Amino acid sequence: MTSTIAAGTKVDGVALSVLLFFFILVTIGGFLAAKWRRPESMHSLDEWGLGGRGFGTIVTWFLLGGDLYTAYTFVAVPAAMFATGAVSGFFAVPYTIVVYPLIFIFMPRMWSVAHRHGFVTPADFVRGRYGSRGLSLAVAVTGIIATMPYIALQLVGIQAVLDTLGLGGSGNWFLKDLPLFIAFAVLAAYTYSSGLRAPALIAFVKDTLIYLVIVVAIIYVGVKIGFGDMFRAAEAKMTTKTKTGAATGVFIPNDKTYWAYSSLALGSALALFMYPHSMTAVLSGRSRNVIRRNAAILPVYSLMLGLLALLGFAAIAAKTNVIGADGKPNAQLAVPHFFHDAFPSWFAGVAFAAIAIGALVPAAIMSIAAANLFTRNIYREFFKPDATPKQEAQVSKIVSLVVKFGALLFVLTLDKQNAINFQLLGGVWILQTIVAIVAGLYTRWFHRWALLAGWAAGMIYGTVMAYQQKSPATAHFGGSLAKFPFSHTTVYIGLSALVVNLLVSVVLTFVLRALNAPVGADSTGPEDYYSDSDGPAVRVRGTEGGLAEPGVART
Amino acid sequence: MKEPSPRRLPTGVAAAAGVLLIIPVLALLIVPLYAKKGPQLWGFPFFYWYQFLWVFLASGFTYSAYVLIERARRGERR
């Protein structure tokens, strides 16, 4: 049993060694992954960026699970529970349940049309469907700027672990940030060489560790603290009045916060599968049914997320101290400190490894997704229309390095609060691509220029509203909730922005159609949205079937 | 090489699958349904265990929709 952490403690050698062991293990795995289901050539985006589009149900399950449930979720959701309770934290549970019926309905269509036309990114689809370079660029840029802070937040997760271990805090900036720098350099190196295969393989290690840790932690809470006492402690904290006279947080939502809770759950669910990295993982599946089956079995991760969220309450009951190595309180440290206080060093090391590796998997997938967007929808679209698959893969590899380095700079130079603010904005932004993408899967009714105007309106409205939110900690970007226009109901900003977006798109479509504005070419046909793995495909490099000629069926 | 066949689902099957998928969404998005303290289960307030329960129920509903669609597809090919 280790003692409570105070500012400037010495390094916990045992926990650090365990963390290092797992880190080296996944590093070796990451480099060896290039040999897994070895393709004839890694020199295309289908292979490097989508793992050959050949992952089955199990691999996709681990990959999507590793992708959607990030280290930041593991640290931030319990931190939010610890600080302000259900509305800011526990909504993640309904959110990650509601998302799967949505994936079940929409994503097989996306998979089919992408498989049929060789689309790699959501912006590729928009380009093909609406024949609009502007709209495709808007979707691509939104994807990239929404993903960057998300990668940065993975680093915040690792930082929380390093801080708990006694690395960081005091000392000069170079030594303080060196461990983070090394971790990311190694991650960048194996993503470069193995592409999407690296996170797919490492996800196995990550999830095994996470499940192990959470089962042990929940048994510990049940036996040592007791669930009844845990909830009572949480309720007592949440109902305590702060200096301003308001309650500290929400234990169970009431009629003032019903809409906040459900709009956060729905809005986040809609945003989650619009993120480029979830699209990447979905498109790497082998068939439509791989996606459908995964929609049914992925909620298992939500069980784990819910239990992890409760650890925020457990930290309240255990009176966990959240003072960081820099001497300031930081709710993000609730879970790492809880593990450090409650468990022997070696097990705390396993928990820290789970969080750190949990950061590496999504960071790798996100950087691949952002790189693919840049390559397909900016580089090839605007600079080199005749790029070969090999050149595309090369550009993507380099951009994935740039993206990760950018995220690192972001975290090292800007305040942590900025990363969280931008992540909040990222969710609002990515939600604005949903009208073009999801409506596009079903209908060409919307006019491409109306969609672009709707996107712009939603982006501006969402950004301004988020900027205006104050909180005790910050003057701007203080939260993701605001009053719905012309009402007193507090809802998720992303969802109100989406309503604005939709209104503008619908109204302008009527106007533009009346004016007979050119609608643009649609390169997709009605049957493309139903085609399965045995249907005709463009540029499929199968793992067993070899290279198919364009337009020739692989049966 | 066989002709790409239309793979649209019969309306009845599509509607039934849609209902199976919308139930978990509504059960979780209508917050007043479950934002209460009791009855408790193993110390968990209703609000918390209800949502944990829906992790499993949602999985079941989604899987049922999958089976329904798969059966319809297979029947069609015969």
Closest CA to A81 of A320, A288, A297: A320
DSSP assigned state of A33: G
For residue B39, say if its preceding peptide bond is cis, omega within 30 degrees of 0.
yes
Does residue A9 carry a pLDDT above 60? Answer: no
User: Touching check for B77 and chain A: CB below 8 Å?
Assistant: no
A520 CA to chain B: closest CA distance, Å? 26
CB atoms within 10 A of CB A451: 28
From the list A98, A252, A261, which residue is nearest B36 (CB)?
Answer: A252
CB A196 within 8 A of CB A50: yes
A:B CB pairs within 8 Å? 118
Does B26 reach chain A within 8 Å, measured CB to CB?
Answer: no
Q: Which residues of B touch A303 (CB under 8 A)?
A: 52, 55-56
Domain residues of chain A, as ranges?
13-516
Predicted confidence (pLDDT) at residue A88 exceeds the cutoff of 80: no
The closest alpha carbon to A462, from A422, A505, A425, A437, belongs to A425
pLDDT average, residue stretch A482-493: 75
Query: Of the ranges A10-24, A315-329, A497-511, which is most confident?
Result: A497-511
ipTM entry: 0.84
Q: Does position A103 have pLDDT exceeding 50, yes or no?
A: yes
**What's the pLDDT at A503?**
92
pLDDT digit string (tens) for A210-225?
A: 888 888 888 888 887 7
Does residue A534 sit in helix, strand or coil? coil
Please name which of A130, A67, A118 lies closest in space to residue A139, comparing C-alpha atoms.
Answer: A130
| CA–CA separation, A119 and A110 (whole Å) | 9
Question: Which class for A518: exposed (0-12), middle (13-18), buried (19 or more C-beta within 10 A)?
Answer: exposed
Which residues form the domain of B57?
A: 32-78
A132-148 residue pLDDT tens: 888 889 999 998 888 88
Using the predicted structure, report yes or no on whether residue A3 has a pLDDT greater than 50.
Answer: no
Nearest to A100 among B7, B58, B69 (CB): B58
> Which pLDDT band, with edges at 50, 70 and 90, does B3 fall under?
very low
Torsion of CA A489, A492, A494, A499, to 10 degrees: -30
Q: Please tell me the CATH code under which domain A13-516 is placed.
A: 1.20.1730.10
Instruction: Report the gap between the CA of B33 and the closest CA in chain A (Å).
Output: 10
The beta-carbon neighbor of B55 closest among A293, A302, A532 is: A302
Q: In this structure, are strands A541-542 and A481-483 parallel, antiparallel, or unpaired?
A: unpaired
Which residues of B are less than 8 Å from A231 in CB distance?
43-45, 48
B56 lies within 8 A of chain A by CB: yes
Q: What is the DSSP string of A483-518?
A: EPTTSS-EEEHHHHHHHHHHHHHHHHHHHHHHTT--
Please report, for residues A66, A202, A350, the alpha-carbon distance to residue A205 in angstroms, rounded to integers and kept in the order given.
10, 5, 11
Q: Determine whether A169 is exposed, middle or buried from the number of CB atoms within 10 Å of its CB (0-12, 13-18, 19+).
A: middle
pLDDT, position A469: 75
In the predicted model, what is the mean pLDDT of chain A?
78
Q: How far is B66 from chain A (nearest CA, A)?
A: 6
Looking at residue B6, its pLDDT comes to: 53
Greatest pairwise CA separation for chain A in angstroms: 74
A521 has a pLDDT exceeding 80: no
| Arithmetic mean of pLDDT, A116-141 | 86
Which of A89, A97, A50, A94 is closest to A72 using CA atoms? A89
Spatial distance between the Cα atoms of A199 and A197, rounded to a whole number of angstroms:
6
- CB count, 10 Å around CB of A341? 19
Distance CA A398, CA A188 (A): 10
CB A97 within 8 A of CB A297: no
Q: What is the pLDDT of residues A256-293, one digit of tens each?
A: 778 878 888 888 888 888 888 888 888 888 888 888 88
B19 at A interface, C-beta within 8 A: no
Number of domains in chain B: 1
Select from A42, A13, A74 the least CA-distant residue to A312. Answer: A74
List, for residues A345-356, the tens digit of each pLDDT value: 888 888 888 888
Q: Which of A42-46, A378-382, A507-511, B29-33 holds the top average pLDDT?
A: A507-511
Nearest alpha-carbon partner for A496 in A340, A266, A333, A330: A266
In a domain, B42, yes or no: yes
Is pLDDT at A534 greater than 80 in this prediction?
no
Q: What sign does the CA torsion over A134, A137, A142, A143 have?
A: positive
Chain A contact for B78 (CB, 8 A cutoff): no
B58 touches chain A (CB under 8 A): yes
Mean per-residue pLDDT over chain B, rounded: 79
| pLDDT recorded at residue A553 | 35
Cβ atoms A33, A48 nearer than 8 A? no
Confidence of residue A241 (pLDDT cuts 50, 70, 90): confident
Average of pLDDT values for A437-443?
87
Q: Does the pLDDT at position A179 exceed 60?
A: yes
Which pLDDT belongs to residue A298?
Answer: 83
Give the whole-angstrom CA distance, residue A93 versus residue A420.
20
